[in-house]
Amino acid sequence: MDTLEAELDRARDLDVATLADAIVEIGFECTRCGACCKAETCGNEASDDAESDSEPHTATVFPDEIRRVQDAGDQEYDFRDAARPMPYGLEDGPEGPEGETFEWALQTDDCGDCTFYSEDESGTGACTVHEDRPLICRTYPFSVALGGTSQPMGEAVDEEGMVRAHECEGLGRDISRAEAEELAAALKERAIREIEEAIAVRDAYEPVETGPGEIVVHDSEGQKRPDGTPLD
């Protein structure tokens, strides 16, 4: 298996023009449907059984992106308003989720939707922190497969199988070359940042004993409590 450092070299060598070619080939335009910002099932559209199996919206966010979202717009958000511990890896204990996890996710509302997502009366979606949204939001529905340790889901949309497209009703629509190149540049930046974060987490990791109901998040800046404060 390739090392993270080898993956990082490949990410840094990504050619933005080649990524843009793949994006232009498949096409994309955001329809503001909100599907990428919402839980898989929610509200009146879901049956009782579906609601019990609903998956909350989960979007990975880096520590500096959390701070940027906190300061977005006219409202200053608390850390917990902006982010939550990534649920993957946590266990259900008698006092709630507990254990160690290695990423942050954007915060969700009671319905499981991204807390920064809103809809107008016509059902058109909008991001309330759009100018400061994380890279994962800027690049959806695309991702990059570099091989090695990280293999994103989604269908390959180029001959090399590097650019992946996830389910989205905006795919197949015309996109300008300028917009495709902007999206491709963000896609490359995201690929680099994800691996840099993984390397930093690996290098800073120290096992932590967690008690009932206690959660520790390991990120590139060290060990933190769910409110973002350092464990030490």
Proportion of the chain in helix, strand, coil states, percent, rounded to 5: 35, 20, 45
Q: How many CB atoms lie within 10 A of CB 222?
A: 16
User: Can you tell me the distance from the alpha carbon of 232 to that of 229, in angstroms, rounded to the nearest whole number?
Assistant: 9
> Could you tell me if 82 and 128 are in contact, meaning their C-beta atoms sit under 8 angstroms apart?
no
Q: Given this model, what pLDDT does residue 53 score?
A: 54
Q: Would the pLDDT of 151 be above 80?
A: no
Token representation of residue 7 = 């993956």
**Residue scoring higher pLDDT (228 or 41):** 228
User: Can you tell me the distance from the alpha carbon of 44 to that of 36, in angstroms, rounded to the nearest whole number?
Assistant: 18
> Could you tell me if 199 and 4 are in contact, meaning their C-beta atoms sit under 8 angstroms apart?
yes
| Whole-number percent of the chain with pLDDT over 90 | 71
Q: Where are the domains of the chain?
A: 4-224
Instruction: Tell me the average pLDDT across 189-218.
Output: 94
> What is the four-CA torsion angle of 88, 89, 92, 96, rounded to 10 degrees?
-70
> pTM value?
0.86
Considering Cα of 145, then 151, then 153, then 159, what sign does the dihedral take?
positive
Using pLDDT thresholds of 50, 70 and 90, give the confidence band for residue 162: confident
**Residue scoring higher pLDDT (156 or 58):** 58
Token representation of residue 232 = 């030490």
The set of residues, in sequence order, having a beta carbon less than 8 Å from that of 176 and lying 6+ positions away, is none
Using pLDDT thresholds of 50, 70 and 90, give the confidence band for residue 129: very high
Instruction: Tell me the average pLDDT across 111-139.
Output: 92
Q: Report the candidate in 215, 31, 1 with the shortest Cα–Cα distance to residue 140.
A: 31
> Could you tell me if 107 and 81 are in contact, meaning their C-beta atoms sit under 8 angstroms apart?
yes
Q: Report the candidate in 103, 135, 100, 115 with the shortest Cα–Cα distance to residue 70.
A: 115
Which helix (H) or strand (E) is 99 found in, with range? strand 96-101
DSSP per-residue letters across 199-215? HHHHHH-------TT-E
Using DSSP's 3-state secondary structure scheme, residue 130 falls into helix
Model confidence pLDDT, tens digit, residues 75-90: 789 999 999 999 998 9
**Residue scoring higher pLDDT (52 or 216):** 216
Q: Report the candidate in 57, 63, 21 with the shortest Cα–Cα distance to residue 41.
A: 57
Token representation of residue 29 = 């335009």
